Structure 1
Amino acid sequence: MTMVVAAMLCMGVASIIGGATGFGTSLIATPLMLIAGIGVPEIVVVNLIVGLVTRVAVAYQLRAHIDWLRVALIGGASLPGAWLGVFTVNMLPEQYLKPAAGVITMLCGLVMALPLAKDPKPPSRAANVMVGSIGGYLSTTTSLNGPPVVLLLSRAKLPPMSFIADLAGYFVVTNTLSLALLWGYTDVQPVAMLPMILGCIASGMLFNWVGMSIAKRLSVRTFRSATVVLVVIAGALTIATA
């Protein structure tokens, strides 16, 4: 029960940030849960399930802002990456995965901090597919499937609501595929984790709503600065707790 409460607290803190930025829940929840002593397999499953449930609600609420073609391209392209990630999990010790994910996350944050083009253009179809594949791989290995897509969309300089809406659609597709693959091809047993999963869903839904309320009050500049800082800090925390 102590672990369940700890996981709920970690998820609550992370969901406020995730609701405000559209992507930060897993990035923040992962290092917090590692510090609390929760195992990596449990963290991955909880993050993916909570992310799926909360993003379904967000995607529905912001459906008018979603670019459905982009979501279909990125989400569909995540399948081969997620499949490869499952085999990686079965072959490599997990201590090699976390530092690598942390480094990748920090690099994404640093690239996001670079000046944007004066006339940003929507990502190309090839870029959507490539980034979707990378996100799928990170999804099943670490559940940190947000940074590549965050980087892609941030370079397009989307309005905050469109940014959050497209990310929500992507997470719905990718998290669903990832959970199905993990359940079918690994030893992951979500049923055995039901108390933790239900508790984190409740915590995630409540505090994600709080974060969404904050997002509606952020300027574009503040929103972008917050996402950059969040990504870099989360990457450093992930490396430190690996």
Structure 2
Amino acid sequence: MPTAVLLAGVGIIGFSAFLGGLTGFGFNLLASPMLLVLGIPPAQVIVINLALALCTRIVVVFRLGAHIRWRKVIPLIAASVPGLLFGMYVATHVNEQALRWATGITAIVAAPALLLWRSREKTLSQPLYAASGFVGGTLATTTSLNGIPLALVLTADNVERRSMIADMAIYFVVSNLIGLGILVAGSGLRDLNWTLILLWLPGALLANWVGNSLSPKVPRQAFRILTCGLVVVAGVSTLVSG
């Protein structure tokens, strides 16, 4: 692989990991379309993103583990498993371009609506969390953009910021690990590019730690706007990169 691509990847992964640490979910949303633009095959992009997101979130789980809301997280993770399997099926039967357009348009439409809408419920139901987990799992093995439904449901539920980041972290660790196992079982090791993962991991860990450390200093409304804005950017980038 050309040196220019490797170096560009360092910057892309580092910046994506920083925003991922800041918001709890932005890593895959930004890294996926940018890596595709670099010319990395989609199947490798998915594996690389899931692996790096998993590694960076392990640190967050240890750091914010006390803030995990297990009653809401367990339905998210459990429902992601059939979603991961369904995503594998979809990826082999549906045109990749159609998947990109569906994901991008959903993100662009959902984020502004979410920013203006406030839930009348004190908390969102567990079935809604489960539905979000299933969609996230489906997106994980089709586009690696599994942060979109998670960010939408947690933001709509007005979850306290540390709990939001902690919930996302444990979800990404467990669901991504299962997803990687499913992908490797389905395709063997041909999409598992250890060179890129090991080259980009140190910068991702450092950038994620910096972003996570700065997260408490961002005002709540600005954090909400940034979260929704990243969803829109991801949606547009996904359409453009397709």
TM-score between the two structures when normalised by the length of structure 1: 0.94
Contact preservation (8 Å) 1:120, 1:155: no
Long gaps (5+) in structure 2: none
Q: Does 1:89 align with 2:94?
A: no
- How far off is 1:68 after superposition? 1.4
Question: How many equivalent pairs are there?
Answer: 240
Contact preservation (8 Å) 1:90, 1:186: no
Long gaps (5+) in structure 1: none
Match of 1:130 in 2: 131
Contact preservation (8 Å) 1:108, 1:147: no
- How far off is 1:120 after superposition? 4.6
Q: Does 1:219 align with 2:180?
A: no
* 1:38 alignment partner, SS class: coil
- Output the CA distance in 2 between the equivalents of 1:158 and 1:170: 15
TM-score between the two structures when normalised by the length of structure 2: 0.94
The 5 A counterparts of 1:48-197 are: 48-117=50-119, 120-187=121-188, 189-191=190-192, 193-197=193-197
Match of 1:31 in 2: 33
Indicate the RMSD between aligned Cα atoms, in angstroms: 1.5
- How far off is 1:160 after superposition? 1.2
Q: Does 1:234 align with 2:231?
A: no
The 5 A counterparts of 1:191-206 are: 191=192, 193-206=193-206
* 2:105 alignment partner, SS class: helix
Q: 2:228 is matched by which residue type in structure 1?
A: V
Q: Which moved more, 1:81-90 or 1:20-29?
A: 81-90
CA spacing shift, 1:115–1:88, aligned 2, 3 Å? closer
Q: Does 1:209 align with 2:212?
A: no
Q: 2:173 is matched by which residue type in structure 1?
A: V
Q: 2:210 is matched by which residue type in structure 1?
A: V
Contact preservation (8 Å) 1:79, 1:133: yes
- Output the CA distance in 2 between the equivalents of 1:101 and 1:115: 21
- Identical-residue share of aligned pairs (%): 35
Instruction: Provide Cα deviations, 1:24-65, integer angstroms capped at 9, x if missing partner.
Output: 000011121122222211110111000101111101100111
* 2:116 alignment partner, SS class: coil
- Output the CA distance in 2 between the equivalents of 1:35 and 1:190: 18
Contact preservation (8 Å) 1:16, 1:209: yes
* 1:86 alignment partner, SS class: helix
